[in-house]
Amino acid sequence: MREAVLFFFIVVAGTAGELCVSRAMKGIGEVHDFRPKSILSFVLQSLRLPWMWLGIALMSLGFFSLLAILSFQQVSFVVPVSALSYAAGAFGAKAFLGESVSRNRWIGIAVVCLGVTLVWWSSR
Amino acid sequence: MTHTRRLQLKTIPLIVVSIILGPLGNVFLGKAMKRIGPLPSERILDLLPIAPRVLMSSYIWLGVACLLGFFIVHMLLLTWADYSYVQPATSLSYASVTMLSYLILGEAISPLRWLGVAVICLGVFVVGRTSPSTTGAAKRA
């Protein structure tokens, strides 16, 4: 049960955090200039966006959940299972960012889920 | 030397670095947290006394450094290589994290787990081979 809750945070909060950051980034627009000064101003600009802060908070929650689960579970179990974030990412990107997800991508995600199921069984 | 060949010469070594660095980061985090021991889960406040031990652990910082290095290499790669080229290649990181867990942490990996990891690699490979932008912004560019 404790594992399920922590995986939920790793996968859902981690992915939701990335989606928030992605939304903030899309708000700023594409970066063409890679000089240090422009990158710094880009970072400062992004820190003014609430989506960025929400994203950082959610990603931190995901990271600390990862540390917590690693305190009692094997790395070779935790990291492969966290590949479920590909599924969460596709659902989130569709619902939240309005991206369309191709059929091939759904097939890949189904295969990932099958692999995660096998890894999950391997620890039972 | 053709342009494609030159690109491969700098892309492939960096992909190999990212496939090792990211998983190595997770393995170090795992090593650090195993030393600290199972975290109490009854009350959130019980976690506070453990926080300094986590922050003082050199393996945690080594892991964070590896993950940061991975992140920078990944970003660098994406400045010249296509996401749909880089992402399937990095699907191998699920195999390397399993291998490194076995070699560095001595975790026992059952055949079923290896099979699951192989299936995950395949799935991530398929996910990565689909178009990286569907919202139109990149198509116009």
**Domain boundaries defined on chain A:** 2-122
Domain-wise residue ranges, chain B: 3-140
What is the per-residue pLDDT across B103-130, written as a single tens digit (0 to 9) for each?
999 999 999 999 999 999 999 988 877 6
Residue B17 sits at φ, ψ, to 5 deg, of: -60, -45
pLDDT at B137 over 50: no
* A118:B122 CB<8 A: no
* Residue of chain B nearest A6, judged by CA positions: B41
Rounded to a whole number, what is the distance in Å from the CA of A79 to chain B's nearest CA?
7
Question: HEC string of chain B?
Answer: CCHHHHHHHHHHHHHHHHHHHHHHHHHHHHHHHHHHCCCCCCCHHHHHHHHHHHHHCHHHHHHHHHHHHHHHHHHHHHHHCCHHHHHHHHCCHHHHHHHHHHHHHCCCCCHHHHHHHHHHHHHHHHHHCCCCCCCCHHHHC
Higher pLDDT, A41 or B31: B31
pLDDT computed for residue B135 by the predictor: 60
Q: How far apart are CA B31 and CA B59, in angstroms?
A: 7
Q: Measured between alpha carbons, how far is A81 from A11 in angstroms, rounded to an integer?
A: 9
- Comparing CA positions, the residue from A64, A77, A89, A86 lying closest to residue A118 is A77
Average pLDDT over residues A1-8: 89
From A99, A112, A121, residue closest to B123, measured CB to CB: A112
pLDDT above 50 for B141: no
| Mean pLDDT in residue range A79-97 | 89
- pLDDT bin (cut points 50, 70, 90) of residue A75 is very high
Residue B132's pLDDT band (cuts 50, 70, 90): low
Other C-beta atoms within 10 Å of B75: how many? 9
Amino acid at B105: L
Chain A contact for B96, CB < 8 A? Answer: no
Over residues A89-111, the mean pLDDT reads: 87
For the cut 90, the answer to whether the pLDDT of residue A79 exceeds it is: yes
pLDDT of residue A64: 92
Tell me which residues of chain B, numbers 15 to 34, contact chain A at a CB-CB cutoff of 8 Å: 23, 26-27, 29-30, 32-34
pLDDT at B131: 64
Helix axes B83-90, B58-80, angle to 10 degrees: 140
Q: What is the pLDDT of residues A61-73, one digit of tens each?
A: 999 999 999 999 9
Task: Tell me the chain B residues in contact with residue A80 when contact means C-beta distances shorter than 8 Å.
Answer: 94, 97-98, 113, 116-117, 120
The type of residue at B58 is S
Model pLDDT for residues B74-104, shown as the tens digit of each residue: 888 877 877 777 877 788 999 999 999 999 9
Structure confidence at residue A68 (pLDDT): 92
CA distances from B96 to A2, A41, A95, B90 (A): 27, 37, 32, 10
- For residue range A20-37, list pLDDT tens digits in order: 988 888 777 777 777 888
Query: pTM to 2 decimals?
Result: 0.84
Nearest to A122 among B54, B110, B127 (CB): B110
Question: Could you tell me if A117 lies within 8 Å of chain B, comparing CB atoms?
Answer: yes
Instruction: For residue A82, give the DSSP letter.
Output: G
Contacts of B56 (CB under 8 A, 6+ apart): none
At B136 the pLDDT is 53
Any A CB within 8 A of B63 CB: no
Task: Tell whether the model's pLDDT for residue B20 goes beyond 70.
Answer: yes
Least Cα distance to A84 among A108, A113, A41 occurs for A113
Q: Is some CB atom of chain B closer than 8 A to the CB atom of A4?
A: no
**Cβ under 8 Å to B: A residues 31-70:** 34, 66-68, 70
Q: In degrees, to the nearest 5, what angle opens at C-alpha A87 toward C-alphas A83 and A92?
A: 125
Q: What is the ipTM of this complex?
A: 0.83
The Cα–Cα gap between A20 and B110 comes to 37
